[in-house]
A and B are shown apart, each in its own frame.
Chain A
Amino acid sequence: MANVSEPVHAGAAPGADHGHDHAHPSFLQHHFDTPAQQFNASKLGMWVFIVTEILMFGGLFCAYAIWRALDPDVFDQAHHFLDKIMGASNTIVLLFSSLTAALAVRSAQLGKKNQTSAYLIVTILCACAFLVIKFFEYRHKIELGLLPGHCFGHPWFSGSIQKGETIGTCLRVHADQAPGNPTWLKAIDQSGHVQLLPPRANMFFGLYFVMTGLHGLHVIIGMSVLAWVLVKNIRGQFSPEYFTPVDLGALYWHLVDLVWIYLFPLLYLVGKPE
């Protein structure tokens, strides 16, 4: 876009939707007067969307706050089954991807097309790395039967077991033989301590899976958005005058990072150390 239009004055040509008397850059939509107006409107729209996203996660944060207040001891006990080091590694991976997303926007602002592509690719690769680490964490929980709701204590990947039978590091303990009596779980946590988890520990793992699951869904959506931005960038659709999709895609990615910044300590860190 070497030739951006002359300054356009708001209201200069009311109703003149097609009969422009000025050069209109191709990226400027008809209902905007200037590129700056279009840019600012897009940004505000994105921020409002980010607010709705925070409020959607807010429901889960509220559930977490209430259930933790109701049952602090079991939350404390259950959170020792999460691997702090894996969680911290994922935090660093996401923070780094946020850095490369910010650098991608910077390159786009300066019109460095290839550099923008490179940074976007690194960001997407970091997102993949995050999901791979998350996969190993999920597999560990599922193998131990640390699952939400009625699935708590269910040996999905360990075959069928009898009451009280040891499966790997996990033991199902029934307080009573009565049908429908909930299962206690005896398992070894991340510090090597044997923990006896009461059935209601399923609330912690329910919140864990739903919160990180919704976040993981956002990671996948963010990756897709960045991949779409990458394609547009390779096609040469951006310039220092028009890089809005890069900017907004990166904003979405930073939101994913922001949510994780709170999820990580709430799920992995708070509680008494062993």
Chain B
Amino acid sequence: MGTEHSHAADADDGRVHSHVASAQFYWGIFGALVVFTILTVKVSYYDFGPANIIIAMLVATMKAGLVATFFMHLRHDKLFNTLAFLSAFLFLAIFILLTYDDLGNRARLDPTYGGTVGLRSGEAAPGGLPATSATVDMTSEEGPPGGAEKPKKE
């Protein structure tokens, strides 16, 4: 990959020494991103069950990695900027996983319900979801196909 430097790279003279990649290199990255996009759309026409979302997120993460590493110059940037960037995903993971864990388990803490209150009928759990149209519908008996299901017993 033909790369060039606008200045001598080793000099610590206070000037800005940024890495300049070749235009062809950027076009190559774009080509890879397009291939990944076509791949993820094609794959979506097949059913892999629960793996659907995992495959889609893996491809998306590879695309995001290409954009961040090369288009956003993290490859030749200060390592600290990469760490700052990645910290966002660490905190995002903490946020989502703990919220998910909370919603899934809060009913179990209540001895009255003995852990039988599932995620789907959260309105019965103290501190559970407020009774929105979503939670109310889920407990209704009738409903068209693909619609309401009865709360699962755990």
Contacts and interface: CB of A to CB of B under 8 A. Distances in A.
A262 B60 contact: yes
Contact of B16 (A61, A96, A101, A242): A242
A4 B146 CA distance: 68
A66 B103 contact: yes
A182 B13 contact: no
A116 interface: no
Interface string B66-90: 0110111100011011001101110
Interface residues of B, number: 71
A261 B60 contact: yes
A242 B15 CA distance: 9
A51 B14 contact: no
Interface in A29-73: 33-37, 39-40, 43-44, 47-48, 50-51, 54-55, 58-59, 61-62, 65-67, 69-71, 73
B44 A84 contact: yes
Given A44-B81, A95-B34, A265-B60, A200 B146 contact: no
Chain A contact residues: over half helix, strand or loop, or mixed? Answer: helix
A58 to B, nearest CB: 4
B138 A73 contact: no
A199 interface: yes
Interface stretch (A102-110, A131-139, A223-231): A102-110
What are the 3 A-B residue pairs with the smallest beta carbon separation, nearest first?
Answer: A34-B14, A265-B56, A200-B134
15 contacts: A44-B84, A48-B84, A55-B92, A59-B95, A61-B92, A62-B95, A92-B37, A95-B33, A99-B29, A102-B71, A196-B147, A200-B138, A254-B71, A265-B56, A269-B40
